[in-house]
């Protein structure tokens, strides 16, 4: 079975631009979570979606938004990019929204903001 | 979500057991203890989780103290491929990652 896939692998943007990152969960998984990992730190929770509804939101500004589609894939959008948004963006899928369900992480999208 | 404290780094000889400690003194009754690891340039990987009882799977064992204020992850026979950052996470609704422990397995 394919694991969690994310696209693109790498992305370079300039300040003020907008970016869309994509995630396809493992087949049968209905929950997708997004994390931001700045170099040298652990991943920080951004959003969780389950059955197309937002189930959790971390401490991130409104420039960050996400959605989940009927096929359970998800997009993370970041508007008005700042230099500090440079990070590895990780997507994780799980069968349900319960935290005790094992989360399977994708390889991430490396975003560089210049 | 409760906060966790882990050593910054640890070394372990290949083939020996690696014991990674974690303190979570403010854990509440409904919060699980989770362990994930992240090998360089990859996404985190689930290892094990538990609530009260000790747990074991094919990767590791999780020992939780009776008062649940601390726990230990045990990799019974560490290999070079176990070199990674290990995250101890306590929570009920979401995963809150700290800085983790860098485990270096050396031959």
pLDDT tens digits along A27-39: 999 999 999 999 9
- Residue A67's Cβ-side half-sphere holds a number of Cα atoms within 13 Å equal to 4
Best residue in B33, B41, B44 for a mutation probing chain A (most A CBs within 10 Å): B44
CA distance B43 to chain A (A): 5
| Tokens at A24, concatenated | 């396809």
Rounded Cα distance between A88 and A105, Å, is 12
Poorest-pLDDT segment among A72-86, B16-30, B81-95: B81-95
pLDDT at B2 over 70: no
Dihedral-angle region of residue A37 (phi above 0 means left; psi in -120 to 50 means alpha; beta otherwise): beta
Please enumerate in sequence order all residues whose Cβ is within 8 A of that of A14, keeping only pairs 6 or more positions apart, or say none.
A81, A113, A114
pLDDT in tens, A50-99: 999 999 999 999 999 999 999 999 999 999 999 999 999 999 999 877 76
pLDDT band for position A16 (50/70/90)? very high
Interchain contact, B91 vs A99, CB within 8 Å:
yes
Q: Which of residues 32-51 of A touch B (CB under 8 A)?
A: 33, 35, 41-45, 48
Q: Which helix (H) or strand (E) holds A47?
A: strand A44-50
Residue of A nearest to B87 (CA): A42
* Helix residue ranges per DSSP H, B29-79: none
Kindly report the average pLDDT of chain B as a whole number: 93
Assess whether pLDDT exceeds 80 at residue B93: no
Buried-state track B25-53, b at ≥16 Cβ within 10 A, e below 16? eebeeebbbbbbbbeeeebbbbbbbbeee
Q: Which tens digits make up the pLDDT trace of B30-60?
A: 889 999 999 987 899 999 999 998 999 999 9
């Amino acid at each position: 079975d394919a694991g969690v896939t994310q696209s693109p692998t790498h992305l370079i943007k300039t300040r003020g631009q907008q970016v869309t990152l994509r995630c396809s969960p493992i087949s049968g998984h209905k929950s997708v979570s997004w994390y931001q990992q700045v170099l040298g730190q652990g991943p920080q929770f951004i959003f969780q979606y389950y059955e197309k509804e937002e189930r959790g939101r971390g401490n991130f500004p409104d420039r960050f938004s996400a959605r989940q589609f009927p096929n359970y894939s998800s997009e993370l959008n970041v508007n008005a990019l700042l230099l500090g948004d440079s990070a590895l963006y990780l997507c994780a899928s799980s069968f349900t929204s319960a935290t005790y369900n094992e989360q399977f992480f994708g390889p991430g999208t490396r975003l560089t903001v210049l | 979500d409760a906060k966790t404290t882990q050593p910054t780094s640890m070394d372990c000889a290949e083939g020996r057991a690696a014991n990674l400690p974690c303190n979570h003194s403010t854990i509440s009754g409904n919060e699980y203890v989770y362990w994930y690891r992240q090998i360089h340039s990859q996404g985190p990987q689930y290892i094990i989780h538990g609530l009260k009882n000790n747990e074991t799977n094919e990767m590791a064992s999780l020992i939780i103290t009776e008062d649940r204020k601390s726990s230990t992850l045990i990799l019974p026979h560490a290999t070079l491929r176990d070199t990674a950052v290990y995250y101890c996470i306590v929570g009920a609704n979401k995963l809150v990652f700290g800085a983790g422990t860098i485990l270096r397995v050396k031959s």
